[in-house]
Amino acid sequence: MGQITLENVTKSFGETQVIPPLDLDIQDGEFTVFVGPSGCGKSTLLRLIAGLEDITSGTIRIDGTDATDIPPAKRGLAMVFQSYALYPHMSVRKNIAFPMRMAGIDAAEQERRIEQAAAALNLTDYLDRRPGQLSGGQRQRVAIGRAIVREPAAFLFDEPLSNLDAALRVGMRLEISELHKRLATTMIYVTHDQVEAMTMADKIVVLRAGHIEQVGSPLELYRNPRNTFVAGFIGSPKMNLIEGEEAARNDAHTLGIRPEHIDVSATEGAWHGKVGVAEHLGSDTFFHVHETGLAETITVRAPGEVNFRHGDTIYMTPRSEQLHRFGADGLRIG
């Protein structure tokens, strides 16, 4: 079981309030991702749930029990840290055994769980090494192994992939997702990378300055961003946000259109501009278009075979059913 409820939770460091009153419900077995730019309070929120920081006011419930004053060691949660936080003086085996040793689990059971976790995480050959002798990805797996053997109510991940290189990150992303499918345990995952959020989450919580901007499934957030911040944050490349005359014609303060929802042509279209940089990914090509009179740059996605060169004039037509309209307060209209 791992249902976590935050009621009216706030956190202040001295005079500065980093988390204004906040409510959040995380269902048992859900993969929840906290995402937001750096300094948005997502890590603080995770640490509050972990118990590594006191909340200033409010209540945290884990499976219905008030956990607000329970020390981290007793909350039954496991955490994977950004730096992995492995014990450098212990072998991999001892690292994984440590939480069980603290819990007083008998040796045979410890051994059984270690073997099981090691097999699942491809660590069997490395059990007697020290963390210092492992690669980044292997360390990451040890950290996850150490979390698994506790059989926690929920896993907390604090930007666990940010120290890995790009290729490994994709692989580990899949592994963590698979782990979640297999264990079906609640996971809370903090990241600043919206791609990780989109690909892994059942539920995304977008945070800015301690505020929850929107909660929803990845596709909900992609299709119906509640405001311009979420619109700009979710999706890659970013949604084009257009203000001024063009927006006013659509009865909006800001008009949003994703690069993939714009059709391009060399001859005709609603908008036009000059091609700046073209990024060829093979399957797709992204054109960064200037001098459109709409915004400084409009990004459009076209199939890989479409070719415009630097300085060419490009015509663009947004698909009207995919236009997002936002009011002056940044909130979505309609």
Partner 1 sequence: MARAVTNQRKAINTAAAWIIGLLIFFPILWTILTSFKSEAQAIADPPIFLFFDWTTENYSTVMERSNYARFLWNSIFIAGGSTILGLIIAVPAAWSMAFVPSRRTKDILLWMLSTKMLPAVGVLYPIYLLFIQFGLLDNVYGLTFVLMLINLPIIVWMLYTYFREIPGEILEAARMDGAGLREEIFFVLTPMALPGIASTLLLNFILAWNEAFWTLNLTAAKAAPLTAFIASYSSPEGLFYAKLSAASTMAIAPILILGWFSQKQLVRGLTFGAVK
Partner 2 sequence: MATKASRSAARVMMAPAVVLLLGWMLVPLIMTLWFSFRTYLPLRGGDQGWTGFDNYVRFVTSSSFWPAISTTLVLLIGVLAITIICGVLLAILLDQPMWGQGAVRILVIAPFFVMPTVSALVWKNMFMDPTNGLLAHLWRFFGADSVSWLSDVPMLSLIMIVSWQWLPFATLILLTAIQSLDGEQMEAAEMDGASVLSRFFYIALPHLSRAITIVILIQTIFLLAIFAEIFVTTGGAFGTRTLSYLIFQRVLESQNIGLGSAGGVYAIILANIVAIFLMRIVGKNLD
- Contact residues for partner 2, defined by CB under 8 A: 51-54, 71-72
Choose the binding region for partner 1 from 77-85, 134-142, 182-190, 294-302 (rule: CB under 8 A).
77-85
**Nearest distance, CB of residue 71 and partner 2, angstroms:** 6
State the number of binding residues for partner 1 (CB under 8 A): 24
Give 53 or 213: the residue with its C-beta nearer to partner 2.
Answer: 53
Give 51 or 76: the residue with its C-beta nearer to partner 2.
Answer: 51
Would you say 316 and 287 are in contact if contact means Cβ atoms under 8 Å apart? no
Would you tell me the crossing angle of helices 166-183 and 136-148 to the nearest 10 degrees?
Answer: 20
- 50 near partner 1 (CB under 8 A): yes
- 92 near partner 1 (CB under 8 A): no
Q: Which among 47, 46, 39 has a CA at the least distance from the CA of 18?
A: 39
CB proximity list for 293: less than 8 A, separation 6 or greater: 271, 273
Give 144 or 264: the residue with its C-beta nearer to partner 1.
Answer: 144
Q: Which of 8, 39, 89, 263 binds partner 1 (CB under 8 A)?
A: 89
Q: Residue 327 in 3-state DSSP?
A: coil
Choose the binding region for partner 1 from 78-86, 219-227, 270-278, 308-316 (rule: CB under 8 A).
78-86
- 132 near partner 1 (CB under 8 A): no
Choose the binding region for partner 1 from 16-24, 87-95, 172-180, 257-265 (rule: CB under 8 A).
87-95
- 107 near partner 1 (CB under 8 A): no
- 150 near partner 1 (CB under 8 A): yes
- 71 near partner 1 (CB under 8 A): yes
CA distance 247 to 297: 15
- 87 near partner 1 (CB under 8 A): yes
E strands in the chain: 4-13, 16-26, 31-35, 57-62, 65-66, 77-80, 154-158, 186-191, 203-208, 211-216, 240-243, 254-257, 262-265, 271-280, 284-290, 298-303, 313-318, 324-326
The entry of partner 2, partner 1, none near residue 242 (CB within 5 to 8 angstroms by kind) is none
**Nearest distance, CB of residue 45 and partner 2, angstroms:** 14
- Residue 33, token pair as written in the block: 């991702």
The entry of partner 1, partner 2, none near residue 132 (CB within 5 to 8 angstroms by kind) is none
Q: Which among 207, 241, 208, 235 has a CA at the least distance from the CA of 220?
A: 235
CA distance 282 to 305: 8
Residues at the interface with partner 1 (CB under 8 A): 50, 52, 71-74, 77-79, 81-83, 85-89, 98-99, 102-103, 146, 150, 156
